[in-house]
Amino acid sequence: MRPSRLLLIWLVILLAIGIVLGTVRALGIAVPSTLLSINWGLLLALLILAIVDAVRLNRLPSPKVGRQMPGSLALARWGEVRLHVEHDFPQPLNIQIYDHVPEGLSFEQLPLAVELQPGKRSEIGYRLRPLKRGHFTFEHCEVNLPSPLGLWSGKRLLKVADHTRVYPDFARVYGGQLLAVDNWLSQLGVRQKQRRGQGMEFHQLREFREGDSLRQIDWKATARQRTPIAREYQDERDQQIIFMLDCGRRMRSQDGELAHFDHALNACLLLSYVALRQGDAVGLSTFAAEQEHYLAPVKGTGQLNVLLNAVYDLDSTRRSADYLSATTQLLARQKRRALVVLVTNLGDEDDEELLTAVRRMKHRHRVLVASLREDMLDPVRQTPVGTLSDALTYCATIDYSNARAELHERMTAHGVSVLDSTAVELGTTLVTRYVEWKKAGMF
């Protein structure tokens, strides 16, 4: 409980009058004794009113507060929380409400001021923006309750328990369900190249058309129908994609509000959505995490929900990535040929171990190494050098970039596909590469 502005103003006024009267008397100027009596009487009356008002405030029942919030939120996207408040007082009441938001969630419009009407429920809201993924618990809501005479303000800590989960930025992924896949991909900037040759999965028999290859002719069907019949193929749909997601210290680099790990999760979910819509199976394997996850490749749009629930509380660690161990575990689990997308941040010290691991996988699977590049590298290389500090920064950046480029070239020379992308552009570039390979029947 703390004094209100009204109480403080009255105290300052009466104390100022008392000081002035005392100063005048000290200077030998006659002051009517009734003025001093009135001043002390007012101070005493204010003190009694303040005590009575404080007692009445303590006896007042707390307002009833409820919270309505989404059961799940998307990382870095704004959501709304609604608070509904009601009280049993016979007169209107102006209160302030401050919701205790867990750490990792930013907010706007708090504290909230609301006028409560007798017998009516008031509803107010504020905006919430998650900066971390995981499970969050709301425990308390703070209400500043004014006293009946307005001399005090009492803080009431009400227990209002709620829970919510913060998932990766899946809102953009689910938004694609409203559009055809091709149109949706084009809006993302995905470039679809013309398919070379024919698909690998038989679709149907049809009449031979101008432009068809002679290899498409089904001679048995042609003999039966006595007219040229061609085989029509389509892109193979029953393929498997499995993500190898690095959860180690390399993925803790920050680009803007999100870490590389969050950007990588968003990109994996984006490609998962596209692949599942194309009829492919998608799985996940993590390494260098506190608790490693493995999800076998499964087809169907329901697999996206399984992926979301598996990774929503997954976070990066300070461990070093053990590529050989992760590769051994994946090869033991994944027997069928698949497209393995290794998402990591290759540095200048990742050399023989990574090459050995990728070459082992390459014998059984199609491997794509997606290497996240720090967003700050490109501007530093393009900034003019004017000082010694600029020169040192520039040389360090060039040295680091050259080491990365050399590692990428060595992997390419061994027949390993490398995708070098900034964290923000990773999702689009991954989907672009998938569509290219899908159209070309390369996995």
pLDDT tens track for 208-238: 887 777 778 888 888 888 888 888 765 555 6
The H-assigned helical ranges of 164-259 are 171-175, 181-187, 219-225
- The b-or-e profile of 411-421 (16+ CB within 10 A means b, else e) is beeeebbbbeb
Residue 118 sits in the same domain as residue 227: no
Residue 154 sits in the same domain as residue 177: no
Between CA 443 and CA 133 the distance in angstroms is 33
Between CA 443 and CA 434 the distance in angstroms is 10
Residue 209 sits in the same domain as residue 354: no
Residue 319 sits in the same domain as residue 250: yes
In contact, 72 and 166? CB cutoff 8 Å? yes
Tokens of 415: 């027949």
Higher pLDDT, 307 or 386: 307
Between CA 123 and CA 121 the distance in angstroms is 7
Residue 212 sits in the same domain as residue 241: no
Residue 193 clears pLDDT 70, i.e. is over it:
no
Residue 202 clears pLDDT 60, i.e. is over it:
no
Residue 290 sits in the same domain as residue 417: yes
pLDDT single digits (tens) 76-120: 888 889 888 887 777 777 888 888 888 888 888 888 888 877 777
Domain containing 123: what range?
Answer: 64-167
Residue 303 clears pLDDT 50, i.e. is over it:
yes
Domain at 348, CATH number: 3.40.50.410
The residue behind tokens 């409560």 is 116
pLDDT of 182 reads 52
Residue 180 sits in the same domain as residue 162: no
In contact, 66 and 87? CB cutoff 8 Å? no
Residue 96 sits in the same domain as residue 27: no
What 8-state DSSP symbol labels residue 55?
Answer: H
The domain total for the chain is 4
Distance of CA 399 to the CA centre of its chain: 32
Residue 275 sits in the same domain as residue 401: yes
